[in-house]
Amino acid sequence: MTPPRGQVLCVWGAAETSNTVRRMLDHARPEAAQGSLNPDGEHAAHPPSQTFIASYDWREQTKRSTLADWRELAKLLVQRHPGCDLLLIEAGVDVPADWHQLLACAYRSDDRIGAVCPLTDALPWLSPFDQERPAWMGVDEVMHWLQTLSRDECFDIPALWPGCVLVRAEALPAIAGFDQPLADSAPALQAAGWSIVACDWLFAARPPGTASPAAPALLEPARLKAFTGAHPLGRLRHGFGEAGARGPAGMLPARPMRKPVQLHITHNWGGGLERWLRDYCETDEQRWNLVLRPIGTWGAFGQKLALYRNPWSPEPLREWIMQSPIASIAATHLQYRHLLHEIIDDFQVDAIIVSSLVGHSLDVFDTTLPTLWVAHDYVPFCPALVIHHESVCHQCGRAELQRCERENPLNRFFKDTSPDHWLTLRQRFIAQVMRDHVSWVAPSASVGRHYRELVPTLRDKPLTVIGHGTDPTPPWQTLRARACEQARPAQARPAQARPAEVQPADASLPPSRRLRIVVLGSLAPQKGRALLSQAIEALARIADLYLIGCGDDAEPFRAHAARLVPRYAPDELPALLAEVEPDLGLLLSTVPETFSYTLSELWQAGIVPVATRLGGFADRISDGVDGFLFEPDAQALLAMIETLGHERARLVAARAAVCAEPARSRAQMVADYHRLLPLAGRPGTAPALLDTAPSSAQAHRVLRIDPNARFGDAVREFIDYTIGKLEHSPRLGAAARRALLWPLRRMRRRLG
């Protein structure tokens, strides 16, 4: 996987590189040790005229090139690796783990930093030591003291140290046009408007047994004298002087490393995106995950913006009333830009993860921070969210948008916007996500196929597929164990007694027993309500149908259902499925799902899915192996169910395949995101504002409602609270209590 900002590592010099290069790569990325280090697969030393080059993801075989000067190197990188930074290190230089990420941290403080070096004892004027570095103080010990002494600052330096330097991709052309050694290229970079800095949180040690190099030829003595006369490292050197006097036994406790801070951009509609966000943030213990949500209503989704410490926080850290509300998505918005930079600065944000743009502005892509665009749906390309109008859309221009606005029942979210608005949004959105610092992620591969068909420009944008993960609770684990026992041949089952909750049933599914089919979750129009309506009479004749969690949309089907449960609490679902013991689960979406947590729940319960051949279903289900796919029409659905009714062995085999597949965990999902978006911790503590208590106005509010809760859920909870208070109030007489409770209880029954 390629990180948002690629880096090309170049190791130069003729020192003993067989171990040095290996150490560089190991520090840069653990997987690097698996690849060969040159075309011959040998760890040979490189002559001074040769440069070792490897791509950042380390999957490509490394190459050696003869380079006459650094100008040629810069030209080569610009040509072969456009948009990638140059990460240059001399063979033999010792660096700590995550050194390349720690260098890149400097970029986030200022977008005009063109090159950054660590502190080093290779140059007297760049050393944190007044004298020689103590022999007992290796790189790890220096980094330990930097955690205590560093101020997390960058400062201007008069020249580059080619022993270890990171050069921004945009600054490389300035070097490519400068006919001098890299160490003397500072004037060229500065003339092009780039700052050359060192960071006080990273140290690299010079190769052992080497002398400090001479000052760069173009560095005037007067300038070097002025720099050292008021040295920016004076305080740091004093601290290291005391550290040297203490010796190894006097090591102070290291200052804690600040976890990286990620900002999630999302909507407040709930659903699968909200579940993904909660799963991600509950699992990610290595980073802070802030959440920026819009708060509004139909026609003005972005009336306010609220920043939360995490997805489940009842109170925001900050709120902003938008002077000009964002109706759907803004192409650009001045106030939004200002508050976004306020968040980035005050909360030390290191990266941005964009999961939904509803209620936000496309300005979110304008920062230089590493940014992930996670395509959970098809907005803002599609105002209907699901690229479906009568069938899956394969093209969409002005005419299609106009017809979609008039005729598409799924296009119901943004009726206040025009086709011109969406065309403008598309144009700016595509330009924004094609930028180098933006990486594209999707939960299933079909998202990329559909987007690239509709937007050919995106064919040049790499896509990383990261499926969602789940962590089954004990009730789910018990349910799956029971299903897996049923899927095992009787002769393969152990003879000893089993717990009652996992006693196996007959796995043969005799033809005399009617199939049990569960329809799980929403039956909104895009989830297949019309498809079920066309097929339900025939289905009810050959199978028992259980509609669970389908909401009010299931009411027309009550007469044909063996059981109908409109709503359930999330922790009630395993027990409901255990009571039903379904043979298969129907997934009827007529739009291309980008993932489907419902499919994950069926597999989690050991239930065989039968799904439309669309989107994430077709990506994830191996047809005939761990599930079955059918074309999204009633006749194909009925034919599939009738076939499975006659060929019960296929269902048993599919259940066995489902049980044999290990579930993907939330930790695996988060690890994939971390590999795609590598961020290094920094010395110091988390921003104090992350621990800020709610404001006094918020703290004294009597009623607190999660703005992300559904309205019906909020009303039900309020009525439950009121009924409880009335039932136990000593101030009310029996008659008054009955008079007040009767309408409330009646209303509560209607709400379900």
Q: How far is CA 466 from CA 372, 383, 589, in A?
A: 12, 24, 22
Q: One fold for both 258-465 and 474-663?
A: yes
In this predicted structure, what is the pLDDT of residue 69? Answer: 54
Distance CA 119, CA 121 (A): 7
Tell me, what DSSP letter sits at residue 627?
B
Q: What is the pLDDT of residues 173-182, one digit of tens each?
A: 887 766 666 6
In this predicted structure, what is the pLDDT of residue 502? Answer: 39
Residue 212 has pLDDT above 70, yes or no: no
Higher pLDDT, 52 or 340: 340
Q: For residue 471, give the nearest of 254, 695, 230, 665 by alpha carbon.
A: 665
* Mean local confidence (pLDDT), 368-388: 93
Burial of 612 (0-12, 13-18, 19+ CB in 10 A): buried
pLDDT over 70 percentage in the chain? 78
Please list, in sequence order, all residues whose beta carbon lies within 8 angstroms of the beta carbon of residue 286, skipping any fewer than 6 positions away. 259, 260, 674
Please tell me the least confidently modeled range out of 124-133, 142-151, 242-251, 600-609: 242-251
Q: Which residues of 561-593 are buried (b: 16+ CB within 10 A; e: fewer)?
A: beebbeeeeeeebbebbeebebbbbbbbbbbbb
Please tell me the least confidently modeled range out of 227-236, 268-277, 320-329: 227-236
In this predicted structure, what is the pLDDT of residue 716? Answer: 80
In this predicted structure, what is the pLDDT of residue 281? Answer: 95
Band of residue 684 on the pLDDT scale cut at 50, 70, 90:
low
Please tell me the least confidently modeled range out of 297-311, 345-359, 433-447, 723-737: 723-737
* Mean local confidence (pLDDT), 109-119: 89
Band of residue 229 on the pLDDT scale cut at 50, 70, 90:
low
In this predicted structure, what is the pLDDT of residue 697? Answer: 41
Instruction: Give kind and range of the element (H or E) at residue 339.
Output: helix 334-346
CATH number for the domain formed by residue range(s) 474-663: 3.40.50.2000
Residue 302 has pLDDT above 70, yes or no: yes
Distance CA 205, CA 564 (A): 70
* Mean local confidence (pLDDT), 673-698: 66
Q: Which two tokens stand for residue 476?
A: 């789910």
Q: Which residues in 485-558 belong to E strands, given as ranges?
A: 515-520, 543-548
Strand duo 438-442 + 463-465: pairing: parallel
Phi and psi at residue 228, to the nearest 5°: -75, -20
Please tell me which of 50-64, 243-257, 404-418 the model is most confident about, judged by mean pLDDT: 404-418
Q: Which two tokens stand for residue 326?
A: 């964002």
Band of residue 519 on the pLDDT scale cut at 50, 70, 90:
very high
Q: For residue 569, give the nearest of 716, 436, 703 by alpha carbon.
A: 716
Band of residue 293 on the pLDDT scale cut at 50, 70, 90:
very high
Q: For residue 429, give the nearest of 352, 351, 358 by alpha carbon.
A: 358
Residue 192 has pLDDT above 60, yes or no: yes
Domain ranges of the chain: 7-249, 258-465, 474-663, 710-751
Q: For residue 171, give the nearest of 74, 259, 72 by alpha carbon.
A: 74
Residue 653 has pLDDT above 70, yes or no: yes
* Mean local confidence (pLDDT), 291-297: 92
In this predicted structure, what is the pLDDT of residue 731? Answer: 56
* Mean local confidence (pLDDT), 330-356: 94
Higher pLDDT, 41 or 619: 619
Strand duo 438-442 + 391-392: pairing: unpaired
Residue 309 has pLDDT above 80, yes or no: yes
Residues 258-465, CATH architecture: 3-Layer(aba) Sandwich (3.40)
Residue 163 has pLDDT above 70, yes or no: yes
* Mean local confidence (pLDDT), 368-380: 93
Burial of 315 (0-12, 13-18, 19+ CB in 10 A): middle
Higher pLDDT, 51 or 206: 206
Alpha-helix runs per DSSP H in 192-333: 221-229, 234-246, 271-283
Burial of 141 (0-12, 13-18, 19+ CB in 10 A): middle
Instruction: Give kind and range of the element (H or E) at residue 405.
Output: helix 398-407
Residues 7-249, CATH architecture: Alpha-Beta Complex (3.90)
Band of residue 305 on the pLDDT scale cut at 50, 70, 90:
very high
Distance CA 330, CA 361 (A): 4
Band of residue 235 on the pLDDT scale cut at 50, 70, 90:
confident
Please give the distance of CA 579 from its chain centroid, rounded to a whole number: 36
In this predicted structure, what is the pLDDT of residue 412? Answer: 85
Average model confidence (pLDDT) across the chain: 80
In this predicted structure, what is the pLDDT of residue 209? Answer: 61
Distance CA 480, CA 179 (A): 68
Query: pTM here?
Result: 0.69
Q: SS3 of 172, please? A: helix
